[in-house]
Amino acid sequence: MGALKSKILVLALLPIPAFFFSLLIGRYEIPPVTVFQIFISKIFNPMMHSPWPQAYEIVVWEIRLPRILLALLVGAALSVSGTSLQGLFRNPLVSPYILGLSWGASFGVALSLLVPVPFSAQVMAFLFGLLAVFLAYSIAKVRGETPVVSLVLAGVIVSAFFTALQYIAKFFLEPHELQGLVYWMMGGLYLANWEDVSVTFAPIIIGIILLSLMSWRLNVLSMGDYEAKMLGLNTEVNKIVIISLATVIAAVSVSVVGTIGWVGLIVPHLIRMAIGPDHRKLIPLSATVGATFLLIADDLARSLTSYELPVGILTTLSGVPFFVYLLKKTKGRSWG
Amino acid sequence: MITAKEVKFSYEKELVLKGVDIEVVKGEVATLLGPNGSGKTTLLKCLCALLKPLTGCVYVNGRDVSKMKRGELAKLMGHVPQDHKPPFPYTVIDVVVMGRAPYIGAFSIPSRKDYALAEKALEIVGIGHLKERVYTQISGGEMQLVLIARALAQQPQVLLLDEPTAHLDFKNKILVLKTVRSLAKREGLAVVMSLHDPNLASMFSDKVYLISNGVIIDRGEPSKVITRDNLERVYGISVEVIDQNGMKFVVPVLDDLT
């Protein structure tokens, strides 16, 4: 028990050292002590006359900090979304994108580049992401019920549909617009600013809190529709609420940073392997570990080479071998 | 305690249940006996309101189950599923405490009291020692007992079991059915279960409903229902019925076996 408790504590506190470590990293060299001085003075004494160059302050406060916060928020959102949906669907291959979210969102972006729309690309990504999931849910619904298999299949259908639409859009896009779309789809945090943080903060935090509160119910739902009904749950209502929350937090993330893959697939597995299947622990720890995972990946993306690497590629490249190792080591036991 | 009146049901055009009546009272173990496809499982699903009968009603304590919310029904009726595939390796106690779900709000978690009740349920079925074990790593018989404990944690008045002995070995069949029977007597539950084996039905039931093609052919005490005529009619094979201290045992007649 003691070992498990200390493991949980470590995982819960992981984002804190990662946060301070990430503040120090960057191509623009600033002495670590100065970084912390800027950070502290900005928080406790914003009016203070700063003895360090103005540029330092901009780098730390306007570039690094919002990017770090956005990485934490998005990493937490994608992981919690993945954990919730994997539990609900009882399926290890489920990610936040399973119901067509990513393809809907990228079509939304393509459309915003192609035709004049009254919304920004971000809003279009969000709206079309939600639209895709809503379509998948509607397709899967038969006689008031949405069996999990139908949902997953409907997700495949909707993804295929939006992929096709997106190819049509791509066909008509100018080369430089096409490039923009490709970068967006690879996902990245390089444009992060305080506005992104303020837009994503409330929905992601509220979504994660609500899903954490429903975590025990998720345990019951993970026994399957049939048993959950016999245990007194209205499975359809519960399903709609959990899918909606998981979709909204993922869609908010995708709309701001693009489709960063694998975070929502790997992190839930990692935690399940480390501390077991109880969603009461899984959901909050998915948030902290997912946040840390994406933050570290983004640190690497912006510091590894002289170019900025798309963080989505790094999350995939770093996630895959680690995942294979864990799968071999635990022999897939975290799935019964 | 639980009553079904004139229950008819069809999945497609053909009626699977053709007007079934049953009545099971407190402390009674009733067994639905019949061949594959006779309608046992469909009837159980109608009893727990998973399927809605075309006509006819199911009442628990005089209340129509089709008009009750899931949460209300789950407080009156526990259900032990047959084909149960647990996706996650929860601990035994965590599985059993799920039986408290009808009493726990959407945004809440089980309290100490809920855990105490879950532990008590494990003690009642005699597997208190398995509490901390991983549910997916225990034996089939133990799993069945865990599911029974989970149903008990619902504090129901009616217990439904769908072929509780389906995948169990000889010893575990007896163990599970003994447990079910003693629960009915000690906890005053009305038990309805489906079984394939007439001998097990004979040993552990107070009442047998013999079902064939969606119709109840015969009902009553096992010794009255499990007769040569009845079984030959329902299963279409020749059998002999042996009387052992007033309990009927069925042996198939294998005249073509050389």
Provide the shortest C-alpha distance from residue A113 to chain B (in Å): 42
A334 part of contact set with chain B, CB < 8 Å? yes
Q: Which of B50, B85, B150 sits opposite A229 (nearest CB)?
A: B50
Cα nearest neighbour of A242 on chain B: B106
Alpha carbon separation from B186 to A10, B2, B86 (Å, rounded) = 48, 18, 29
Domain-embedded: residue A336: no
Neighbours of B36 (CB within 10 A): 7
B246 part of contact set with chain A, CB < 8 Å? no
The 10s digit of each residue's pLDDT in B39-98 is 999 999 999 999 999 999 999 999 999 999 999 999 999 999 987 777 789 999 999 999
Q: Which of B85, B88, B104 sits opposite A277 (nearest CB)?
A: B88
| N residues, chain B | 258
Higher pLDDT, B202 or A47: B202
For residue A206, the enclosing domain spans 24-32+46-330
What would be the CATH architecture of the domain defined by B2-76+156-257? 3-Layer(aba) Sandwich (3.40)
Chain A interface test: which of B65, B70, B75 (most A C-beta within 10 Å): B70
Cα nearest neighbour of B147 on chain A: A227
- What string of H, E and C letters represents the secondary structure of chain A? CHHHHHHHHHHHHCHHHHHHHHHHCCCCCCCHHHHHHHHHHHHHCCCCCCCCCHHHHHHHHHHHHHHHHHHHHHHHHHHHHHHHHHHHHCCCCCCCCCCCHHHHHHHHHHHHHHCCCCCCHHHHHHHHHHHHHHHHHHHHCECCECCHHHHHHHHHHHHHHHHHHHHHHHHHCCHHHHHHHHHHHHCCCCCCCHHHHHHHHHHHHHHHHHHHHCHHHHHHHCCCHHHHHHCCCCHHHHHHHHHHHHHHHHHHHHHHHCCCCCHHHHHHHHHHHHHCCCHHHHHHHHHHHHHHHHHHHHHHHHHCCCCCCCHHHHHHHHHHHHHHHHHHHHCCHHHC
Chain A interface test: which of B46, B70, B77, B88 (most A C-beta within 10 Å): B88
A217 part of contact set with chain B, CB < 8 Å? yes
Number of independent structural domains in chain A: 1
- Residues 6 or more apart whose Cβ sits within 8 Å of residue B125: B145, B148, B149, B152, B179, B183
Tens of pLDDT along chain A (336 residues) come to 588 899 999 999 999 999 999 999 988 889 999 999 999 988 888 777 778 888 999 999 999 999 999 999 999 999 999 999 999 988 777 888 889 999 999 999 999 999 888 899 999 999 999 999 999 999 998 877 888 888 889 999 999 999 999 999 999 999 998 998 888 888 889 889 999 999 999 999 999 999 999 999 999 999 998 999 999 999 999 999 999 999 999 999 999 999 898 899 889 988 998 899 999 999 999 999 999 999 999 999 999 888 888 898 888 888 788 778 877 776 666 654
B74 vs A contacts (CB less than 8 Å): 230-232
The one-character DSSP state at B126 is: T
- pTM: predicted TM-score of the whole model, two decimal places: 0.92
Q: Where residue A64 sits, what CATH number does that domain have?
A: 1.10.3470.10
Q: Which of B72, B74, B108 sits opposite A231 (nearest CB)?
A: B74
A275 part of contact set with chain B, CB < 8 Å? no
Q: Which of A217, A223, A232 sits opposite B70 (nearest CB)?
A: A232
B154 vs A contacts (CB less than 8 Å): 231-232
Domain-embedded: residue A8: no
Domain-embedded: residue A110: yes
- What string of H, E and C letters represents the secondary structure of A54-79? HHHHHHHHHHHHHHHHHHHHHHHHHH
- Distance between CA atoms of A299 and A289, rounded to whole angstroms? 15
Cα nearest neighbour of B99 on chain A: A231
Q: Are strands B77-80 and B158-162 parallel, antiparallel or unpaired?
A: parallel
Contact, B69 vs B181, CB < 8 A?
A: no
B156 vs A contacts (CB less than 8 Å): none
- Residues 6 or more apart whose Cβ sits within 8 Å of residue A40: none
Domain-embedded: residue A324: yes
Cross-chain residue pair B81–A226, CB shorter than 8 Å = yes
Check pLDDT > 60 for residue B225: yes
The one-character DSSP state at B107 is: T
Quick one: tokens of A234? 């209205």
Quick one: tokens of B184? 């009915």
